[in-house]
Structure 1
Amino acid sequence: MRDALFPSPSAPELRRVPLRLLAGACCMFTLAAAHAATCPPSAIASLEKPGAGLRNGIDRGVLWRIERDGRTSWLYGTIHIGRGDWVRPGPTIQKALMQSDTVALELDMRDESTARAMGRPADPELLARMLSGERARRLERQNTEACVPPGSLSKLQPILQVTALAGLVGRPDGLYPEFGVDETLAVAARNNNKPIVALENAADQLKVLTGGSESEEAEQVDAALDELESGKLRGQLKELADVWARSDAARLARYPEWCDCLNTPAEQRLLKRLLDDRNPNLADGIERLHAGGKGVFAAVGALHMIGPQGLPTLMAARGFTVTPVLTNAQEQTAQPMPALAAPSPAPRAVRGGKAVKGQRGKAAPAAAARGGKPAKAAPAAARGGARAPAKAATKTTASKAAAPAAKGKVRR
């Protein structure tokens, strides 16, 4: 379905999953597959349910316009999972993307070097130390419950294994990594000949995820397994996705009040590392592209947008005029997409400079109908998380997240 909507050059068979489904901690991939009757349907199979299917896009997510030096760029808060009918973006997002020269993402998972770095096998000795005994049995149970074929994730860094699993818990609610907003945005950007720039690199993101020590990574793995086993992560993920889909920036900013995710010093440290410590570097990259004469459509995890260290605030402090565009909760209804028309017959030849009888005044067939193939779609784009992969990465500190954006150059 994705290739039909967004035809693109061949790319590694990678599926990206978030570290905390709204924080944008890491671009991941998963090899999981629904292969039994008790498993959730696959992403493609989910489109076959009654009432499911592609629809005309409506505006979702949170968007700000930023202006400086006579040029306009954009900040778009994304989520790394999605529903089938989220693949097609709304008119506001399409317009912003088309007005931009460059699309900036945290990582471009269709870049081969990035894909290799994220999929590089972990040190076997580290895997043997960390994934043994009861922890290994817990991880195996979660792989079985998620319908992940045995061994599919077993060579990855331990934190990436549980992060991949965290990205699969929303499938019963129709939320799939394959429909992740960042991914569909990247495909659509390529179809529209928009260059894609990565604001970070895979090696640095892996360092952020694993923390400063093996013991810290093990602690994060255990915390993620706790959330997977309790079932709490599924509810958190669904609510985060609903908040994003409504463009509810106010509730997003209050995330620490209702997420139940900043209860320990370890969770708070992880959040700071995943969000506050990374945001200045993201802002540097966006500012550099804009200063180079480019209108930038910067699409990163939605929780990178909130609080005093959020990107709208940081960009205002750098002299940008920041204007909210999509930040108010909204209820919208998308209409079913019309069926694609069959290819129209080619016009008859023109004789002597005059159209053949019956052809005068008729337009050529629409591009979308040529060859029976759909036209290339415009972009789409909230990023998310799991606790170390599940919880903490989607959060920001309670004292900071709800704080208002910087004053002065921020328009309301």
Structure 2
Amino acid sequence: MLNAPLLETDAPSPAEDRLTRRIAVGLALFPFLLLASLIVALLTALPAHAGDEACGGKDLLAGLESSNPAAYAQLLMQGEKVKNGSSRFWKLEKAGQQPNWLLGTMHLTDPRVTELPDQARSAFDNAATLIVESDEILDQQRAAAALMAKPDLMMYSGKQSIKDYLTPEDEKVLEAGLKTRGIPLAAVVKMKPYILTSMVALSPCELARKSSGKPFLDMKLAQEAKAAGKAVKGVETLAEQIEAMASLPNDFHVRSLVSTARYPEYTADVMETTINLYLTGRMGLVLRVSIYFAPEKNPSDARDMAAFEEKLITIRNHHMADRGAPILDKGNVFMAVGALHLIGDEGLVELLREKGYTATPIF
């Protein structure tokens, strides 16, 4: 059941706002996408379909504008309050060095996403160094080695499997969700739930494009940078990303997995809506839109969601800023990381300002 409209008179209290924001994180942020992009490239058993089929999904915000103008206006107002939430491309300047550039990305192969606008393309072409989340995207053997070095992060050990944590009904939901992506449950039954969520969160066509070798935006930039002789630097490792995911409770991941599989239309619609928000530089709206349209919300999940936001977003923001700053200090750097890492009081834009950079939005 969809939320009741959020009207001007229904503005949440600060405490309620924090709660709903945290509840939305698990459904809205798709933090699994980079992980999914790497894992899909490594799991050769996954099907690779020919063609470039449309991913589907509808823009939820566009429909709301015509059906409920008051709620639409309220959402826009709330999105505008998110610090640095109205731009995905920034110029970073500090006295005595060449300017740097910061691009928020989506870890998708969608051609609307992978095609850089002219200003970003020019900055990228002229940069000497590229920073991405993990430079392991350039070396699948290295990425595979990182995964195999810590198999417990990816797979259940012994006789354990994902089925041990599913009700019969949930197992049917998951089996159906995987089947639409050409993946038998039996083939992935030993995988941890967050690995499976990374697959289910991708639309079948996005999964097919990735498994057939099409690069997502970050990988495309890294490949182009390497071919052009630029230095490519990572600010995280794949193991660190998986460890952050694994640090959250197993039951939380199982609930997230089943919910994602249970509402495929919602997942597709939120993805399409998020792409459109990304392309128009309105990332501050992503959380609020997903809250409004979420098919279910459980306030008892607030504690888990708070930990999710802290470990998967905020802590990583600080890592990116701390590790990226020494590279940025050399100047003429193009930094490309997930767009939702840029926004908010502890987003990358604010953290780099604290390190002495002037950050100017470009688009």
Please, what TM-score do these two structures have when normalized by structure 2? 0.68
- CA apart distance, 1:256: 2.6
Instruction: State the SS of the aligned residue for 2:230.
Output: coil
Instruction: State the SS of the aligned residue for 1:146.
Output: coil
Partner of 1:324: 361
- CA apart distance, 1:237: 0.9
| AA of the residue aligned to 1:66 | L
| AA of the residue aligned to 2:237 | N
Higher relative contact order (CA 8 A, sep 6+): 2
Q: CA RMSD in A?
A: 3.2
| AA of the residue aligned to 1:324 | P
8 Å Cα contact 1:168-1:176 kept in structure 2 = no
| AA of the residue aligned to 1:259 | S
8 Å Cα contact 1:106-1:200 kept in structure 2 = yes
| AA of the residue aligned to 2:334 | F
Instruction: State the SS of the aligned residue for 1:148.
Output: coil
- For 1:46 and 1:23, the matched residues in 2 are separated by 24
> CA 1:123–1:220 in 2, change beyond 3 Å: closer, same or farther?
closer
- In structure 1, the gaps of 5 or more residues are 1-18, 36-41, 50-60, 327-412
1:152-167 mapped onto 2 (5 Å cutoff): 152-167=187-202
8 Å Cα contact 1:127-1:158 kept in structure 2 = no
- In structure 2, the gaps of 5 or more residues are 1-26, 56-86
> CA 1:144–1:127 in 2, change beyond 3 Å: closer, same or farther?
farther
- CA apart distance, 1:225: 1.7
Partner of 1:306: 343
8 Å Cα contact 2:110-2:206 kept in structure 1 = no
8 Å Cα contact 1:23-1:304 kept in structure 2 = no
| AA of the residue aligned to 1:158 | P
| AA of the residue aligned to 1:183 | M
| AA of the residue aligned to 1:110 | L
- For 1:124 and 1:22, the matched residues in 2 are separated by 23
8 Å Cα contact 1:25-1:205 kept in structure 2 = no
8 Å Cα contact 2:104-2:338 kept in structure 1 = yes
- For 1:203 and 1:141, the matched residues in 2 are separated by 29
8 Å Cα contact 2:108-2:206 kept in structure 1 = no
8 Å Cα contact 2:156-2:192 kept in structure 1 = no
> CA 1:244–1:176 in 2, change beyond 3 Å: closer, same or farther?
farther
Partner of 1:187: 223
1:27 lines up with 2:35 in the alignment? yes
- For 1:76 and 1:205, the matched residues in 2 are separated by 20
1:250-289 mapped onto 2 (5 Å cutoff): 252-260=283-291, 264-265=301-302, 266-289=304-327
| AA of the residue aligned to 1:46 | D
8 Å Cα contact 2:163-2:171 kept in structure 1 = yes
Calculate percent identity across the aligned residue pairs. 20
Give per-residue Cα distances to partners, 1:269-309, cap 9 Å, x unaligned: 21222111211110012211123x24221111000011111
8 Å Cα contact 2:103-2:336 kept in structure 1 = yes
1:218 lines up with 2:251 in the alignment? yes
> CA 1:127–1:211 in 2, change beyond 3 Å: closer, same or farther?
farther
The structure whose Rg is larger is 1
> CA 1:193–1:21 in 2, change beyond 3 Å: closer, same or farther?
farther
**Structure with higher helix content:** 2
- CA apart distance, 1:97: 1.0
- For 1:127 and 1:98, the matched residues in 2 are separated by 51
| AA of the residue aligned to 1:159 | Y
> CA 1:131–1:180 in 2, change beyond 3 Å: closer, same or farther?
same
1:140 lines up with 2:175 in the alignment? yes
- CA apart distance, 1:268: 3.0
1:7-406 mapped onto 2 (5 Å cutoff): 23=31, 26-28=34-36, 29-30=39-40, 31=43, 42=49, 44-46=50-52, 62-68=88-94, 69-84=96-111, 86-108=113-135, 109-111=137-139, 112-118=141-147, 121=151, 122-125=154-157, 128-132=160-164, 134=167, 136-148=171-183, 152-169=187-204, 171=206, 178-212=214-248, 216-231=249-264, 232-246=266-280, 248-249=281-282, 252-260=283-291, 264-265=301-302, 266-291=304-329, 293-326=330-363
- CA apart distance, 1:226: 1.2
| AA of the residue aligned to 1:221 | V
Instruction: State the SS of the aligned residue for 1:300.
Output: strand
> CA 1:325–1:239 in 2, change beyond 3 Å: closer, same or farther?
same
8 Å Cα contact 1:131-1:158 kept in structure 2 = no
Please, what TM-score do these two structures have when normalized by structure 1? 0.60
- For 1:233 and 1:81, the matched residues in 2 are separated by 14
- CA apart distance, 1:141: 2.6
Instruction: State the SS of the aligned residue for 1:288.
Output: helix
- CA apart distance, 1:144: 1.0
| AA of the residue aligned to 1:131 | K
Give per-residue Cα distances to partners, 1:132-160, cap 9 Å, x unaligned: 35355543332212212565544543311
